[in-house]
Amino acid sequence: MGKRALRILWTSLACALILCIGVFVWITAYMVSQSGETIHEVGTIYMSQMSTQLKLQFSLFIDSRVAQMEELVGRTAAGDGDAGRQSLDEVKASARGYDYTYLGLYDEDGNGTALFGEDIEIIDEDAFLDGLRRDEKKVAAAKAQSGEELILLGVPAVYQMEDGGRSAALVAGLPMKHIEKNLSLDIGETLVYSHFIRKDGTFILRNADATEDSYFERVLSYGQSPNQTPQKMLRDIERAIANGADHSIVLTIHGEKRSTYFSPLPYSDWYLVSVMPYGTLEEPIMALNGKRIATTLAGCGVITIVLLFLFFLYFRMSQQQMAALDEARKKADSANRSKSEFLSNMSHDIRTPMNAIVGMTSIAKSNLDDAGRVQNCLQKIELSSKHLLGLINDVLDMSKIESGKLTLNMDRLSLREVVDSIVNIVQPQIKEKHQQFDVFIQDVDVEDVYCDGVRLNQVLINLLSNAIKFTPAGGTIYLSLRQEPSPAGESFVRLHFYVKDTGIGMSKAFQERLFEAFERENCERVNKTEGTGLGMAISKYIVDAMQGRIEVHSEPGAGSEFHVTLDLEKALIQVEDMRLPPWKILIVDDDKQICEDAASILREMGADAQWTLDGESALTMAQERHRAGDDYEIILLDWNMPGLSGLETALQFRQQIGGTIPILLISAYEWNHIEQEARRAGVSGFVAKPLFKSTLFYALNHYMGIAPEEMSSPEKEMQMLSGKRILLAEDNDLNWEIADALLTQLGLVIERAENGRVCVEKFRRSEPGSYDGILMDIRMPEMDGYEATKAIRAASRPDADIPIIAMTADAFTEDIQRCLACGMNDHITKPIDIAIVIQTLQKHILSGEDHSSSSK
């Protein structure tokens, strides 16, 4: 390489370094210069919100006191003589009970008579009385003879006064300390405190550090600003107050910079002055500036080293090697960008079901020859996928949640499936942290209710995820479900969900703020744990929307227990009669509550159930029954027990008693990794916790010759739909392939229309009654689903009322309403749930079968 080229390279390198350093220095200088303005803007926003809250509290306080007085006037009648005096006596007695220290009557001319309390001097009396004459809510300040400051409130009232005239208003006075007490104006934990001032700057209420009579005097005497004189600041304040506008300044008093915000108070001519020490915002931002400068210098150093390295590497490598290196660098950068974008957009709630989906998929791929295991994995993938879909819908609906328009999709759900789904989702996290996990079901007679399943899952998973995060390895977590009659009526049932852990617990002070957004307890253990502080606030919002309640009981170091109570409507569905033969069944579990609940359920189904708490006593009981020739016919064993485990107990049972008595292993965890060992120990099958009635029935009915599949009706449902002709409007080839495969399995005859226009044309060319129904996509080229539906409904044919069902990814409530408004019969959301498809087709096609037959 020639000297000229080398000189160009060195010059280019130097220019690049200078440019990079210059850009970094300029960016840093610019950001530092903007810090003061940023601090002021952040302070103004914060102080504006604080002032709004205080004004709202002030309004609520005044409204409640005025309502008291209006109620007092409303229930006492004006009159003359004894009746009038009796009314006034009642008014005075009630007013004293409301803590008023002054009560008086005022006529139209502003003449007042005190009913009790010291004589007062009303400040701004004319404005106050004028407001009363106009029936406005108005407050005023007054000073009693003793010097005590009062806040006055008045309402229209007609009573006989001492001079024989009639009053126009009833005026009551409260000590100003009531305002201080109710609004907490003094310096507190937030470091924000407030004053009340009049338009002329005189104090109505002042903070403890203000000794002057006028706030304006305070500004002139002590106020300092690098850009303004005290006189200029005061003129700006007076101008804002005269215009009734908010105003924000930063001034220094007694050597301390303070962010100060002025805001008019309702029902008065007063102003609220809120003050926050500037250092509260300035210190962290200044610290950030220091870190930014350090980071900039480090970045410059890194860039310099990298550029020098690349420069010397260029001389040592050929163009081909450089090209390969450049290609590798691009791929690495692309991979890193993709990974960073992916991780930045992930949340804990989405990773949890994804973990279950990926894990179950891997297990299924590794066990393709084991149909039972693959089926189990697919079921769990389906449950996790549905939960993940629900989370995506939540994200899309976030704008409505934030605006307070949360909508609930109340549909029939199975509590057993809900709990199974949640257990499957949280199990990987439990296993990863080596925690103990158990599920308790008590007195659950109604398994199907109407509820928003996605929202319920969201609440329970939030609670369990927090329990897992804040419980150390080896700790214990419980999920319990209990039912009882609901006070809402016989058609409802009350559900109690308990999530209990042995984790780090919470302080009493934090429990009071737990359900507020962005709240996290300030301790070392919590600060090291991921979280936004939104989970509990969202859970509380959802439970409130379901008209339930959520409570927490916790102590630091002793764990936490969350209690969710919901009153849900029972789903009145046909349930098969779950009856078992009078088998003699032994239940073995180290948890007494589980034993008692399972035994109660089995006895209710007709079995003779006994229980014990450990493997040793179970073997003793089984041996005694065996010697008496009255063996147990089924044994239910908990897998994880102290002393003899479930596997050891099963093995000794087979060795000591033998026989073919079914032994079923109970576990709340995956048993795939112990299945072979369990089979060798003599275990006949497995039962998953939690032990619902249906769970036990379907697990045991195999041994009386009845398979669960024979009791359900999917085959009957598919036979009823078999042969029905469906016209499917779908422009996406992959969506068509999926729908065709799923619907053909039901025996349906499917014909495709590539868009809405083709769908309308095929319907018009067909003979009346050729199609039994139409499944209509919405977003299609040439003609969308709405237009196609309107065209079909407008056709002059006897079957123009053919069932048309939307099958679309447009899933919001307004989308459903729009589908129904344009003439569709129902709405199915993609990705499609085949059970919902069957139910919907039965509802609209089979119910109109007679009509269709007559058309043909």
C-alpha angle 443-446-451 in degrees, rounded to nearest 5: 120
Q: Across the strands, what pairs with 752?
A: 728
Alpha-carbon torsion, ordered 239, 241, 244, 247, to 10 deg: 80
Q: How far apart are CA 707 and CA 527, in angstroms?
A: 52
| Per-residue pLDDT at 714 | 42
**Residue 238: φ, ψ to 5°:** -65, -40
| Per-residue pLDDT at 529 | 47
Q: How far apart are CA 759 and CA 805, in angstroms?
A: 13
pLDDT higher than threshold 70 for residue 524 = no
The token pair at 729 is: 């409007």
| Omega cis (within 30) before 768 | no
In the chain, pLDDT over 90 holds for what percent of residues? 11
Residue partners of 816: CB distance under 8 A and separation at least 6: 806, 827
Q: Of the candidates 651, 591, 590, which has an alpha carbon nearest to the alpha carbon of residue 619? A: 651
Q: Are 230 and 223 in contact (CB under 8 A)?
A: yes
Question: Does residue 374 sit in helix, strand or coil?
Answer: helix
What is the pTM for the complete model shown?
A: 0.39
With cut-offs at 50, 70 and 90, classify the pLDDT of residue 9. low
Q: Of the candidates 122, 123, 154, which has an alpha carbon nearest to the alpha carbon of residue 139? A: 154
Q: How far apart are CA 611 and CA 423, in angstroms?
A: 25
Count Cβ neighbours within 10 Å for each residue of 755-765 and write b for 16 or more, e otherwise.
bbbbbbebbee
C-alpha angle 804-807-813 in degrees, rounded to nearest 5: 100
How crowded is the C-beta side of 597, counted as CA atoms within 13 Å?
A: 23
DSSP string, 40-69: HHHHHHHHHHHHHHHHHHHHHHHHHHHHHH
Residue partners of 61: CB distance under 8 A and separation at least 6: 178, 179, 182, 183
Alpha helices in 514-656 (DSSP H): 524-527, 535-545, 592-604, 615-627, 646-656
Q: Are 263 and 274 in contact (CB under 8 A)?
A: yes
pLDDT higher than threshold 70 for residue 142 = yes
The token pair at 602 is: 């089995």
Alpha-carbon torsion, ordered 746, 747, 749, 755, to 10 deg: 10
Label each residue of 743-792 as H, E or C.
HHCCCCEEEEECCHHHHHHHHHHCCCCCCCEEEECCCCCCCCHHHHHHHH
Q: Of the candidates 447, 499, 462, which has an alpha carbon nearest to the alpha carbon of residue 696? A: 447
Question: What average pLDDT does range 147-171 have in this prediction?
Answer: 85
Label each residue of 326-390 as H, E or C.
HHHHHHHHHHHHHHHHHHHHCCHHHHHHHHHHHHHHHHHHHCCCCHHHHHHHHHHHHHHHHHHHH
Residue pLDDT, tens place only, 744-784 = 888 889 999 999 999 999 999 999 989 999 999 998 988 99
647: left (phi over 0), alpha (psi -120 to 50) or beta: alpha
Residue pLDDT, tens place only, 389-417 = 655 655 554 445 555 556 677 777 888 87
Q: How many residues does the chain have?
A: 856
| Per-residue pLDDT at 567 | 93
Residue pLDDT, tens place only, 601-636 = 888 888 888 888 888 888 888 888 888 888 888 888
Q: Of the candidates 53, 90, 61, which has an alpha carbon nearest to the alpha carbon of residue 74? A: 90
Q: How far apart are CA 260 and CA 194, in angstroms?
A: 9
| Per-residue pLDDT at 332 | 66
More confident residue, 106 or 710: 106
DSSP state of 810: -
| Per-residue pLDDT at 789 | 95
| Per-residue pLDDT at 711 | 37
Q: How far apart are CA 23 and CA 2, in angstroms?
A: 31
DSSP state of 586: E
Lowest mean pLDDT among 138-152, 335-349, 804-818: 335-349
The token pair at 659 is: 């026989």
Q: How far apart are CA 166 and CA 105, in angstroms?
A: 9
| Per-residue pLDDT at 756 | 93
Q: Of the candidates 521, 439, 452, which has an alpha carbon nearest to the alpha carbon of residue 481? A: 439
DSSP state of 558: S
Residue pLDDT, tens place only, 421-476 = 788 778 777 887 888 888 888 888 888 888 888 788 888 988 998 888 889 888 99
Residue pLDDT, tens place only, 791-849 = 999 998 999 999 999 988 776 656 777 898 999 998 888 777 777 788 788 888 876 55
pLDDT higher than threshold 70 for residue 264 = yes
Count Cβ neighbours within 10 Å for each residue of 216-229 and write b for 16 or more, e otherwise.
bebbbeebeeeebe
Q: How far apart are CA 342 and CA 336, in angstroms?
A: 10
Q: Across the strands, what pairs with 611?
A: 587
pLDDT higher than threshold 90 for residue 590 = no
Residue pLDDT, tens place only, 189-239 = 456 778 888 888 888 887 766 777 888 888 887 777 767 788 888 888 889
Q: How far apart are CA 741 and CA 812, in angstroms?
A: 26
More confident residue, 526 or 629: 629
Task: Report the chain's mean pLDDT, rounded to a whole number.
Answer: 78
Q: How far apart are CA 43 and CA 123, in angstroms?
A: 33
Q: How far apart are CA 169 and CA 47, in angstroms?
A: 37
User: Are β-strands 149-156 and 169-175 bridged in parallel, bridged antiparallel, or unpaired?
Assistant: antiparallel
Residue pLDDT, tens place only, 503-513 = 888 888 888 87
Q: How far apart are CA 102 and CA 604, in angstroms?
A: 70
Q: Are 762 and 753 in contact (CB under 8 A)?
A: yes
How crowded is the C-beta side of 303, counted as CA atoms within 13 Å?
A: 18
| Per-residue pLDDT at 209 | 66
Q: Of the candidates 86, 126, 89, which has an alpha carbon nearest to the alpha carbon of residue 106? A: 126
Radius of gyration of the chain (CA): 38
| Per-residue pLDDT at 286 | 67
User: Are β-strands 120-122 and 139-144 bridged in parallel, bridged antiparallel, or unpaired?
Assistant: antiparallel
Residue partners of 358: CB distance under 8 A and separation at least 6: none
Q: Helix 3-74 and helix 81-97: axis angle, to 10°?
A: 150
Question: What average pLDDT does range 104-123 have in this prediction?
Answer: 86
Q: What residue type is assigned to position 190 of the chain?
A: T
The token pair at 571 is: 């789903």
**Residue carrying structure tokens 């399995």:** 745
Q: Of the candidates 719, 821, 840, which has an alpha carbon nearest to the alpha carbon of residue 775? A: 840
For residue 331, CA distances in Å to 305, 309, 325, 335 come to 22, 20, 10, 6
**Residue 617: φ, ψ to 5°:** -70, -30
More confident residue, 566 or 181: 566
| Per-residue pLDDT at 314 | 64
The token pair at 554 is: 């916790």
The token pair at 390 is: 């629900």
**Residue carrying structure tokens 């305002």:** 179
How crowded is the C-beta side of 222, counted as CA atoms within 13 Å?
A: 16
Q: How many CB atoms lie within 10 A of CB 424?
A: 22
Alpha-carbon torsion, ordered 378, 383, 387, 388, to 10 deg: 0
| Per-residue pLDDT at 311 | 66
For residue 236, CA distances in Å to 250, 612, 619, 770 come to 12, 82, 90, 81
In the chain, pLDDT over 70 holds for what percent of residues? 80
Q: Of the candidates 145, 136, 143, which has an alpha carbon nearest to the alpha carbon of residue 269? A: 136
Task: Give all domains of the chain, ordered by start, each with its CATH number.
Answer: 76-176 (3.30.450), 397-570 (3.30.565.10), 584-707 (3.40.50.2300), 714-855 (3.40.50.2300)
Lowest mean pLDDT among 321-335, 444-458, 533-547: 321-335
pLDDT higher than threshold 60 for residue 520 = no
| Per-residue pLDDT at 349 | 57
361-370, 459-468, 643-652, 828-837: range with highest mean pLDDT: 459-468
